[in-house]
């Protein structure tokens, strides 16, 4: 089953303009841009046939080509990464059986997150879309709560049914839990990992749907599937002791750099 990974990269982010080109310093002191680190993470995934960066900005194209990435130019009208992935897949002639959207703000995404995600979608032929979720420990939950208290979005959380079909995704911390958890304790909150695996028919349908009120309010592209009655499979992944965080705000840069140094990322 052929697999394409697309890394959508947009320069004109409202919350953090130029984010894909933000330099991050690794364990060896070498600076690499966010998009390069995301591309390197994508290239480490097993069982993938092709990895491309999809952008509408020549600055990102030039930077990506300089470190060896294949680039697909997409239109400025793409509202989010899913629309950009759909356009990139079409521009490449289609034909891939699974398209993975590895968003360019999560360079610490372990390769097995994506491998487990693809395996989960393959095992669920009735699903058109799958996305990973990670059980938060107390430390991560407290970080998410602290970000919200400070008026920042620290990450997205997910709630799902017994069959692991998504019920909702939010930038708020859901579900509510009043209990205080120790740093290493598991909690009832699941962190949504910003990766998606689509079957081509679901991906192609997406761009034809209008943006719904929940997607507009939350700013979460995956809610368009739920608002149009499509199931989203939540695949629980195991961090295996690794730390995971996304680059959502400038304040996240030192946190990510500290994690990279701790894990020995060059």
- Residue pair 196/101 in contact (Cβ under 8 Å)? The answer is yes
Task: Report DSSP state, residue 211.
Answer: P
Cβ atoms < 10 Å from Cβ of 27: 13
Provide the pLDDT confidence category of residue 155 given band limits of 50, 70 and 90.
confident
- Provide the pLDDT for residue 199: 97
- Provide the pLDDT for residue 73: 97
| Per-residue model confidence as pLDDT tens digits over 9-40 | 988 776 677 889 989 888 888 899 999 999 99
| Per-residue model confidence as pLDDT tens digits over 225-244 | 999 999 999 999 998 877 76
User: Where in 28-179 does DSSP place strands (E)?
Assistant: 31-33, 50-55, 70-73, 98-102, 129-137, 156-160, 166-170
Cβ atoms < 10 Å from Cβ of 170: 17
Bond before 175 cis per omega within 30 degrees: yes
Q: How far is CA 99 from CA 64, 183, 211, in A?
A: 20, 35, 21
- Provide the pLDDT for residue 57: 94
CA distance 53 to 211: 24
- Stated pTM of the model: 0.91
Q: Is the pLDDT of residue 249 over 80?
A: no
Residues paired with residue 155 on neighbouring β-strands, in sequence order = none
Q: Is the pLDDT of residue 77 over 70?
A: yes
Residue 206 sits at φ, ψ, to 5 deg, of -55, -45
């Amino acid at each position: 089953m052929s697999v394409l990974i697309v890394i959508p990269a947009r320069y004109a982010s409202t919350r953090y303009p130029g984010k894909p080109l933000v330099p991050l310093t690794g364990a060896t002191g070498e600076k690499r841009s966010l998009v390069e680190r995301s591309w390197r993470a994508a290239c480490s995934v097993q069982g993938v046939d092709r990895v491309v960066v999809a952008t509408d900005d020549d600055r990102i194209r030039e930077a990506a080509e300089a470190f060896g990435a294949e680039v697909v130019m997409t239109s400025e009208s793409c509202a989010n990464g899913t629309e950009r992935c759909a356009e990139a897949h079409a521009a490449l002639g289609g034909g891939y059986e699974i398209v993975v959207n590895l968003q360019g703000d999560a360079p610490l995404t372990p390769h097995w997150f994506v491998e487990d995600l693809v395996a989960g979608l393959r095992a669920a032929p009735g699903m058109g879309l799958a996305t990973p979720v990670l059980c938060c420990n107390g430390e991560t939950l407290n970080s998410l709560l602290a970000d919200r208290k400070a008026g920042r979005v620290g990450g997205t959380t997910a709630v799902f049914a017994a069959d692991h079909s998504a019920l909702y995704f939010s930038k708020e911390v859901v579900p509510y839990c009043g209990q205080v958890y120790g740093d290493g304790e598991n909690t009832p909150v699941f962190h949504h990992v910003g990766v998606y695996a689509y079957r081509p028919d679901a991906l192609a349908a997406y761009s034809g749907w209008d943006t719904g009120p929940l997607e507009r309010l939350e700013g979460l592209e995956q809610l368009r599937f739920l608002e149009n009655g499509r199931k989203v499979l939540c695949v629980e992944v195991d961090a295996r002791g690794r730390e995971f965080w996304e680059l959502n705000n400038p304040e996240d840069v030192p946190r990510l750099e500290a994690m990279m140094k701790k894990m020995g990322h060059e």
